[in-house]
């Protein structure tokens, strides 16, 4: 049974005041607060059970190695990946995309080739591909967005050419909250022999993906958005690709043999995990996924859907409010504007009443241009939020609007 009071007790950060007001945290798409189970396990590993992994002949090193590999198995299961070797730990979505852009680019992208991304991507899924295109004299092509926020997937077949090497799209938009039809996109791409990378930053936190079902070739996400520690993340890749890609970084653990003449590399996944990885964080991330599974994904979805629907209804009661991206299905966030008022001014006033919301370009300047605005306001909900918090935020929003009008 989902007991919101009990759930909220699991998150210490929710029980604090800012500027003398109880915190209302509606910036969950940026990062989520951590359950006590995650905080405790990370504390325990830092205060007691710390030993560097993989090369140890001692108890602590072995314990941390076991935990790190257990985390890999949990993530394999969470994504329904075929093999543990396909799960590469990274420091986050951005790190995973940059790693892929380098390694995939070195192996498969040449002068005149093309990469397709969408108009609704986060800067992290734009700039690494631009850098790759600059390095390789390749070009970036853009899948447009409809007025209601849907990707114009029907235009994808005509965008794909014999030079298309990779298509990179978000599982869900961090601005509009719309869940993209990734299975359909992948099917179109595969019909043309093109692999697809899914940016799962805003999808992993809403139940993840069945990567074999959608037949995704690469998938990236960040642990800190999935109630895990900062500095954690994953790059999933199909073994047939990862085995072919050159390493991104060189160093300890990613080698098989080293001599000054020639180095041979370790197999998967270690080939892509040079140096001491964030094994403490990885185990924290595993603990977060365990916690979410115990809470129940159905319960989480139900709570988050009821919050986002309620917020939509309350926002529409306010004069001059415009919610962007009407298309469904949505995750649990809403981006909106208020006629004649700068989003940052509202966010700053709300902050002073203890309410954390996001405002600005939301790391998606091309999408802001698409909608003809400089910025938006965003409320993003977690299952630990409540309708009472939404009511308080709406009252604060109305007051801020009156003050600024």
Query: Does the footprint of ligand PMP cover residue 170 (CB under 6 A)?
Result: yes
DSSP 8-state secondary structure symbol assigned to residue 286: H
CB of 62 to ligand PMP, least distance (A): 30
Task: Of 188, 122, 128, 123, give the one whose Cα is nearest residue 152.
Answer: 188
SS3 (DSSP) at 316: helix
Q: What's the rounded Cα separation, in Å, for the pair 66 and 382?
A: 31
Task: Of 217, 231, 242, give the one whose Cα is nearest residue 103.
Answer: 242
- Which neighbouring-strand residues pair with 237? 218
CB of 81 to ligand PMP, least distance (A): 20
Please say if 133 is a catalytic residue.
no
Active-site annotation holder among 64, 133, 168, 363: 363
- Which neighbouring-strand residues pair with 140? 115
**Toward ligand PMP, which CB reaches closer, 164 or 222?**
222
User: CA triplet 321, 121, 152: central angle to 5 degrees?
Assistant: 80
Binding mask 197-226 for ligand PMP (x = CB under 6 A): --x-xx-------------------x----
Span of 92-100, 160-168, 177-185, 286-294 interacting with ligand PMP by CB under 6 A: 92-100
Span of 46-54, 67-75, 118-126, 278-286 interacting with ligand PMP by CB under 6 A: 118-126
Helix, strand, coil shares of the chain as percentages rounded to 5? Answer: 45, 20, 40
Q: For residue 329, is the peptide bond before it cis, meaning its omega torsion is within 30 degrees of 0?
A: yes
Query: Does the footprint of ligand PMP cover residue 124 (CB under 6 A)?
Result: yes
Span of 122-130, 155-163, 293-301, 352-360 interacting with ligand PMP by CB under 6 A: 122-130
Task: Please count the residues of this chain forming the interface with ligand PMP, following the rule CB under 6 A.
Answer: 14
User: CA triplet 226, 227, 228: central angle to 5 degrees?
Assistant: 90
Q: Which residues contact 262 (CB under 8 A, 6 or more apart)?
A: none
Query: Does the footprint of ligand PMP cover residue 27 (CB under 6 A)?
Result: no
Report the residue from 74, 125, 180, 295 that binds ligand PMP according to the rule CB under 6 A: 125
Report the residue from 34, 122, 136, 238 that binds ligand PMP according to the rule CB under 6 A: 122
CB of 92 to ligand PMP, least distance (A): 4
SS3 (DSSP) at 67: helix
Task: Of 208, 113, 229, give the one whose Cα is nearest residue 165.
Answer: 113
Span of 43-51, 68-76, 88-96, 313-321 interacting with ligand PMP by CB under 6 A: 88-96
Residues labelled as active-site residues: 363
Contacts with ligand PMP by CB under 6 A lie at 30, 92-94, 122, 124-125, 170, 174, 199, 201-202, 222, 363
């Amino acid at each position: 049974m989902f007991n919101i009071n009990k759930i909220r007790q699991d998150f210490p950060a929710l029980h604090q005041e800012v500027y003398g007001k109880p915190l209302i945290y509606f910036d969950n798409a940026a990062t989520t607060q951590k359950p006590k189970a995650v905080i405790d396990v990370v504390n325990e590993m830092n205060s007691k059970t710390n030993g560097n992994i993989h090369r140890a002949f001692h108890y602590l090193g072995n314990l941390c190695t076991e935990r790190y590999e257990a985390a890999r198995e949990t993530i394999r299961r969470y994504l329904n990946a075929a093999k543990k070797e396909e799960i590469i730990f990274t420091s986050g979505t951005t790190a995973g995309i940059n790693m892929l852009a380098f390694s995939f680019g070195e192996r498969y992208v040449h002068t005149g080739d093309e990469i397709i991304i969408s108009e609704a991507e986060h800067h992290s899924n734009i700039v690494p591909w631009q850098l790759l295109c600059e390095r390789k004299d390749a070009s970036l092509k853009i899948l447009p967005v409809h007025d209601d926020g849907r990707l114009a997937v029907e235009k994808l077949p005509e965008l794909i050419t014999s030079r298309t090497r990779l298509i990179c799209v978000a599982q869900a938009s961090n601005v509009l909250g719309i869940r993209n039809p990734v299975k359909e996109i992948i099917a179109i791409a595969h019909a043309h022999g093109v692999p697809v990378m899914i940016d799962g930053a805003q999808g992993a936190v809403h139940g993840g993906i069945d990567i074999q079902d959608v037949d995704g070739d690469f998938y990236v996400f960040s642990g800190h958005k999935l109630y895990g520690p900062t500095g954690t993340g994953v790059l999933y890749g199909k073994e047939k690709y990862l085995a072919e890609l050159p390493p991104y970084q060189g160093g300890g653990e990613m080698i098989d043999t080293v001599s000054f003449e020639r180095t041979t590399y370790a197999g998967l996944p270690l080939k892509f995990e040079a140096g001491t990885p964030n094994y403490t964080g990885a185990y924290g991330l595993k603990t977060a996924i365990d916690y979410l599974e115990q809470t129940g994904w159905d319960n989480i979805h139900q709570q988050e859907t009821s919050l986002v629907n309620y917020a939509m209804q309350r926002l529409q009661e306010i004069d001059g409010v415009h919610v962007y991206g009407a298309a469904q299905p949505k995750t649990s966030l809403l981006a909106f504007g208020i006629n004649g008022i700068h989003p940052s001014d509202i966010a700053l006033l709300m902050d002073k009443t203890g309410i954390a919301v996001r405002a600005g370009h939301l790391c998606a300047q091309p999408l802001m241009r698409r909608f003809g605005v400089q910025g938006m306001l965003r409320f993003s909900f977690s299952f630990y939020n409540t309708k009472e918090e939404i009511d308080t935020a709406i009252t604060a929003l109305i007051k801020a609007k009156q003050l600024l009008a």
